[in-house]
Structure 1
């Protein structure tokens, strides 16, 4: 019989009835009526073309064929249970796999995760780096964060981390005429070239000039006084998006983390 045609629910009912040798006690275990158990057994016997139980005056008795099949059936259910355990283990409630740009991880996300983990010490994080909109078909992720437009992939849903702006930052005392460090978010700059906005911030801290970067990843340096804004923030055409496929949004661990990251104080 093909796997797609296996009567798995009826086999589960058969296993319960065989253990109890009673449709009534099997029904109690399965939270159904004795009549429903009887219907499942009759349907299974018709499907397989064999008799599974002899109805005796003292109750039920397994046929020899049914008795010989039970060990293999129960081993099969044990294997099902083990396969489910393995699948769940990779996405256990204490593990969160997150993909984000390297600069966001270094300048904002890692610190936020540390605060969040303090409220739930059992949590463990797996962090992966991405450069653009995440491809959930290529990686087993609980969620991802990227800077850009709202994701458009089918089955992927996203929420923005506030309204983002761009801010020109430099160490205190840096002249407004200092070279502006170039990076992918600021291709019009005329100074040294860095791979991402986080490295542009580090270069600015080292004295290589100013950097026009997303406010979110500059916030901690600004709050600490290590950087100052050389001009008012500029509107950004892009935002930071937290995204995940629909099944991941159903997980309590994902929803809880997203709600924390979207709190106003989480983006400050």
Structure 2
């Protein structure tokens, strides 16, 4: 994939071609006395839309103006910010690093200006992404608690079934993922422990049967992970316990809570987080017919950008959330004195 330059043509059209006409060069230190604000606005609009046409429409300017601004910003930085792919524009590594910072800064400036103009206190909303099952099973009651303790903080919650970081702009995100190293501040909330769960009626069939025999006779309920085989979690479970079972068949769901609700309806066995669904297990709506719990290798992590640690709202919510999950981990794994 080659970096490109946008060259304005007649009629306001823009031609994308490889940058050969002039070399991108660094121009020394950048300071706030001459920050290229128009160029940053143009870059943010094009980056959000992955399109010069979409960015130009959003800002009500011409494509040629957008092209000049982005090209000038690239020259200032000495690095290309976009590259061409078969499906359109893509951010380079430099673009990926710059876009969230610019977008967040412009959001905060916009919110503060509107607050001052409207003679009200500037309160920006804290944007947090939470996976659907985690939101419904754990975070909704926790958010109620936080609002009672901190009523002055505004929170906007988004939820999508993704593995890892979502594509939307957020201040922080709880992600379901394997342990990994990246540039984000990452706090482990808990590691997932799974076991086969089913309705009380289905569990009756487990009497006198080994776990492999029971599972072979039941419909396995799968939870799909983006880009992974539909039976990944069940096949990993069978491999860890040495079970000779066919994991290919059965229904697949986008969320753990949907699979659990189907199982509670009377048929099927879901491989579910026993801590997330502890209330349903305690109430007898879900049954764990075998003491066959494993850590599946995935966990829930809180992620945010290092630059945001200085933001009071983010810092307070992060500390509060980590503390609440620490209490829950202690409750599920109490320390027994010697």
TM over 0.5: yes
- Give the structure 1 partner of residue 305 of structure 2: 245
Match of 2:259 among 200, 205, 215: 200
Quote how far apart the aligned CAs of 1:88 are.
9.1
2:44 maps to none
Per-residue deviation, residues 16-48 of structure 1 (Å, max 9, x unmatched) = xxxxxxxxxxxxxxxxxxxxxxxxxxxxxxxxx
Contact 2:188 2:299 (C-alpha < 8 Å) held by counterparts: yes
How far did residue 160 of structure 1 move?
0.9
Asked if residue 254 in structure 1 is aligned to residue 281 in structure 2, the reply is no
Query: 1: CA distance between counterparts of 2:286 and 2:175?
Result: 24
* Alignment of 1:214 onto 2:273: yes
CA deviation after TM superposition for structure 1 residue 241, in Å: 0.8
Q: Which residue of 1 aligns with 2:284?
A: 225
TM-score by length of 2: 0.48
2:252, 2:201 → 1: CA distance?
22
What secondary structure, in the 3-state scheme, does the structure 1 residue paired with 2:278 have? helix
> How far did residue 140 of structure 1 move?
3.1
Equivalent of 2:222 in 159, 162, 182: 182
Gaps of 5+ in 2: 1-29, 35-107, 117-121, 207-213, 225-231, 236-246, 333-338
In structure 1, the residue matched to 2:112 is 85
Residue of structure 2 aligned with 1:118, choices 130, 148, 152: 148
**Which residue of 1 is the match for residue 66 of structure 2?**
none
| SS of aligned partner of 1:153 | coil
Give the match for residue 20 of structure 2. Answer: none
1:162 matches 2:190 = yes
Shift in Å, 1:172: 2.1
1:173 aligns with 2:233: no
| Alpha-carbon separation, structure 1, partners of 2:110 and 2:298 | 42
CA shift at 1:152, angstroms? 3.1
User: Distance in 2 between the 1:119 and 1:152 partners?
Assistant: 33
Supply the distance in 2 between the matched residues of 1:94 and 1:253 (Cα, whole angstroms): 14
SS at match of 2:128: strand
2:263 partner SS: helix
**Unpaired runs of at least 5, structure 1:** 8-80
1:140-159 equivalences in 2 (<5 Å): 140-154=169-183, 156-159=184-187
Contact 1:171/1:228, CA 8 A, preserved across alignment: yes
Q: Is the 8 A contact 2:234 2:271 kept in 1?
A: no
- CA shift, 1:166, in A, is 0.8
Superposed counterparts of 1:5-20, under 5 Å:
6=33
Indicate the structure (1 or 2) with the bigger Cα radius of gyration.
1
User: How many angstroms apart in 2 are the aligned matches of 1:103 and 1:237?
Assistant: 18
2 CA distance for matches of 1:119 and 1:202? Answer: 32
8 Å Cα contact 2:173-2:302 kept in structure 1: yes
The alignment's C-alpha RMSD in Å is 3.3
Identify if the C-alpha distance between structure 1 residues 83 and 209 changes in structure 2 by more than 3 Å, giving closer, same or farther: closer
The Cα of 1:210 is off from its aligned counterpart by 1.5
How far does residue 101 in structure 1 lie from its aligned partner after superposition?
A: 1.5
Q: How much does 1:83 deviate?
A: 5.8
Counterparts of 1:96 and 1:5 in 2: how far apart (Å)?
Answer: 26
Call closer, same or farther: CA 1:84–1:213 in 2, change over 3 Å.
closer
Q: Return closer, same or farther for 1:172/1:5 CA change in 2, 3 Å cut-off.
A: closer
